Amino acid sequence: MKALRITLTALSLSAISSLALAAGNPLSVHVLNLENGLPSPGVNVTLEKYVGQNWQPLAQGVTNEQGRIGELFPDKQAMEAGQYRVVFKTGDYFKKAGRDTFFPEIPVIFEVKNVDQHYHIPLLLSPYGFSTYRGS
């Protein structure tokens, strides 16, 4: 029982620290591997904004040991309404793990309407499928 309480406390503190990291930044991502049930560290992620007829690069990052990037939006820039694209470079991730994949990149396009909200994009990943949604 004591071990369970310690584990739950650690998980709660981890979640709180992740929220604290994301509090000052309008965008975070999280990648989980559905095949093994574990976070996906080392996934390269890029952020782009749709400007005119082109995607303009804004930022890039690599998921940490929990499969997260808590602050993906550039520090010196204010988020504006519009369309954004987060691209998860999953091919490199699976190659490092010695696995094949059908999706070498997973682009997730989303629209920002309220710039005062935090946007969180979780990616549930497997070698031959994926799912995403707007997280909190």
The predicted model scores a pTM of 0.81
What type of residue is 83? Q
pLDDT at 11: 44
Binding site annotation covers 68?
yes
Is the distance from CB of 49 to CB of 55 less than 8 angstroms? Answer: yes
Distance between the two ends of the chain, CA-based, in angstroms?
30
50 labeled part of a ligand binding site: no
Rounded to 5°, angle at Cα 111 from 110 and 115:
125
The CATH number of domain 2-132 is 3.40.50.1100? no
Domain locations in the chain as residue ranges: 2-132
5 annotated as belonging to a binding site for a ligand = no
31: β partners: 123
Specify whether the backbone of 50 is left (phi greater than 0), alpha (psi in -120 to 50) or beta. beta
How far is 62 from 91, CA to CA, in rounded Å? Answer: 14
Chunked mean pLDDT (size 10), the chain, 136 residues: 45 44 80 95 98 96 98 91 98 95 97 95 97 94
